[in-house]
Structures are given as C-alpha cells and as structure tokens.
C-alpha cells in the first residue's frame, strides 16, 4: 500500500467536508420532493402534503390564512433548497476535476454510480457494502492506496439485514425494488434469472443481494418489489450485520466523492481471514481472502490506531 501524498490528503479532506454539505443540501431538497398542493373535498379546499410517489399524504387543514402561509413558506423553501443543491453540485464537479488531477479517484465509475444512486434513495441506510469493493472505504479511512490488483472485482455485494420490515424498505424504494434503483445507475441491468439474487448489465458487471443465513422457520422471500431480485442467504454474514457501520467518503475514478456504508474494518478483516480457512471455498478465492485480510490488518496496525484489535472491541464476532 502507498500513503497518499500531501495534496491528495488535502483533497480527500476537502471532498469529505464538501460531501457533508452536499448531503445536507440534498436532504433539504428531498424534503420538498413530493410537493404540497390544494385539494377540494366536499366543497372546501384543503392543503395536502404528499409523502410518496403514489399520492399518499396528509391534510394540513382547510384553506385559511394560516395554511396559505404554510404553503407559501414551503414553496419559498423549495426554491431556496433547489438553488443551494444546484450550487453545491457545481462545487462537487469542480472538486472532482481537482481530484482527478492529483490521481485521487480510483473506484470504478459503475460502482460509484450504483452506490451514489443508493445513497440518494430513502433506503440509503438499509444496505451495507461488503466484499472486495468495501476495500475502497478502508483505504480512504487509512489515507492510503491499495494495489489495484487486490481491489479488482466484477461484482458488488449489497448486504441487507432481513430483521428490518420489508414493506417499509419497499416504500423507501418507491416500490420499484433494488432492480429499479440499479437501472437508475445503468438502464441495462437485468436479473440474471427469475427470482435470482444477481443482476447484470450489458458490460457483464454484477450486483448481488445477500442476507445472513436464517433459521429454517424464517422462510419469507426477501425482495422489495414484484420481479425484483430475491436475496440469497450466505453463511457467516451475521458477523457483518452485527458489526458497527462506518460511513466513509471515497473518491471515484471520475473524481466525484461518494459515501460508502461498510462494516467495521476489523470485522471485514476477521471475516476474510475466516473465509480463507474454509475447506469448501475455492483455493483461488481463499488466497485472495487471506491477502485482503492481511492488507486490512496492515492498514489498521500502521494507519488506524483508533481501531485497536482487542477482544472488547470485537464483541459482535463469534468466539
């Protein structure tokens, strides 16, 4: 691994701070997303605040001086929020050019596009990035760059915690499911097979929807819309579901900052080390697992002393 130079570190700090402002502006803009309008019922006008794309919402009261003031304040706030969001997006574009100039961005564009669309959705906090692409977050945390060979991967693994209420997550995705979200990043994404857990685009890049292995009585299919991906159960993922989440800004190959939600790097390290010892795992994958575990261990030891590798800090892992 190679430490970032001074200019790269400065750009990473600036990008992270700018992304926080971007997130705030985007959230403010989204809070006006579904609008407010007047509806007539039984001969009287009511102020209606929509809450989703299907037209659900609630009445804020009959038309009066008070509700008209609410309506005017909402629309003024919407205009201001949109202006601020637009201005910060321009600053993001400027920062992206600076990041490219110092060779800070390396995460593949398709990965960043997928994670950016997920981060822009109401379901942004319901998934974790696991597998090889989580390494982009860990190198950003340590202010280093790992070897690209270790980071290369043709698929993204999205981990969902099935203890969450499915109907709620479906609503957050506007009932279009994960496949609908993926198509916002690349319209060519399609499920590889009906009721499968994997989607693939025209370039052969894949996205897997995975969940921890469940008890036999938990047999409900995990999907977020009709004809959506159906999550595959994978042993040992409960470790990563129970681990603390790290939210890290990573720079994509096009220079744009993107937020990643990944498990605690210590959990990733231990999980990869465990995978490397499994008898039924392919040897080529076992070797790669061990290499990634060792890489994260080195980053923790040399650059992340605030993540001590002590039993009391790893309570969520099996003994």
Q: Which residues of 60-81 are buried (b: 16+ CB within 10 A; e: fewer)?
A: eeeeeeebeebbeebeeebeeb
Query: Residue 319 has what pLDDT?
Result: 53
Q: Which of 124-133, 236-245, 308-317 shows the lowest mean pLDDT across its residues?
A: 308-317
d(CA 288, CA 265): 17
Q: How far apart are CA 311 and CA 319, in angstroms?
A: 9
Chain centre distance of CA 74 = 29
Q: Decide if pLDDT at 194 tops 70.
A: yes
Mean pLDDT over residues 155-168, rounded?
91
Average pLDDT, the chain: 92
3-state secondary structure of 191: strand
- Residue 313 pLDDT more than 70? no
How far is Cα of residue 118 from the mean position of the Cα atoms in its chain? 5
CB 271 within 8 A of CB 236: yes
Q: What is the average pLDDT across 263-281?
A: 93
Kindly report, residue by residue over 64-75, the tens digit of the pLDDT.
Answer: 999 999 999 999
Q: What is the mean pLDDT of residues 43-51?
A: 92
Whose tokens are 């705030």? That residue is 24
pLDDT for res 93: 95
Asked if residue 315 has pLDDT above 90, the reply is no
Q: Find the mean pLDDT for residues 138-157.
A: 94
* Confidence (pLDDT) at 317: 59
Q: What is the pTM of this model?
A: 0.88
The pLDDT of residue 107 is 95
Tens digit of each residue's pLDDT (9 = 90 or more) over 249-262: 999 999 999 999 99
User: Average pLDDT for residues 20-42, to the nearest whole number?
Assistant: 90
């Amino acid at each position: 691994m190679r430490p970032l130079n001074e200019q790269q570190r400065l750009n990473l700090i600036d990008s992270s701070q700018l992304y926080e402002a971007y997130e705030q502006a985007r959230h403010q803009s989204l809070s006006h997303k579904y609008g407010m309008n007047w509806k007539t019922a039984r001969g009287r006008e009511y102020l209606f605040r929509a809450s989703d794309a299907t037209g659900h919402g609630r009445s804020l009261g009959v038309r009066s001086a008070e509700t008209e003031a609410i309506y005017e304040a909402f629309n003024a706030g919407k205009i201001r929020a949109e202006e601020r969001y637009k201005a910060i997006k321009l600053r993001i574009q400027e920062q992206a050019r600076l990041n490219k100039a110092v060779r800070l961005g390396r995460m593949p564009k398709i990965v960043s596009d997928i994670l950016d669309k997920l981060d822009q959705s109401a379901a942004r906090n319901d998934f974790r990035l696991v597998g090889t692409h989580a390494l982009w977050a860990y190198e950003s945390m340590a202010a280093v760059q790992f070897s690209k060979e270790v980071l290369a991967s043709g698929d993204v693994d999205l981990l969902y915690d099935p203890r969450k209420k499915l109907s709620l997550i479906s609503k957050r995705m506007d009932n279009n499911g994960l496949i609908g979200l993926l198509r916002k990043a690349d319209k060519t994404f399609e499920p590889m097979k009906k009721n499968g857990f994997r989607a693939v685009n025209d370039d052969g890049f894949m996205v897997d929807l995975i969940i921890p292995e469940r008890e036999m009585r938990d047999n409900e299919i995990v999907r977020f819309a009709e004809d959506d991906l159906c999550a595959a159960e994978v042993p040992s993922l409960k470790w990563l579901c129970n681990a603390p989440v790290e939210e890290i800004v990573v720079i994509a190959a096009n220079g744009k900052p993107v937020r990643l939600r990944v498990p605690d790097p210590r959990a990733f390290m231990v999980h990869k080390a465990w995978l490397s010892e499994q008898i039924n795992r392919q040897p080529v994958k076992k070797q790669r697992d061990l290499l990634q575990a060792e890489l994260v261990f080195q980053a923790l030891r040399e650059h992340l002393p605030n993540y001590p590798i002590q039993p009391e800090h790893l309570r969520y892992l099996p003994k």
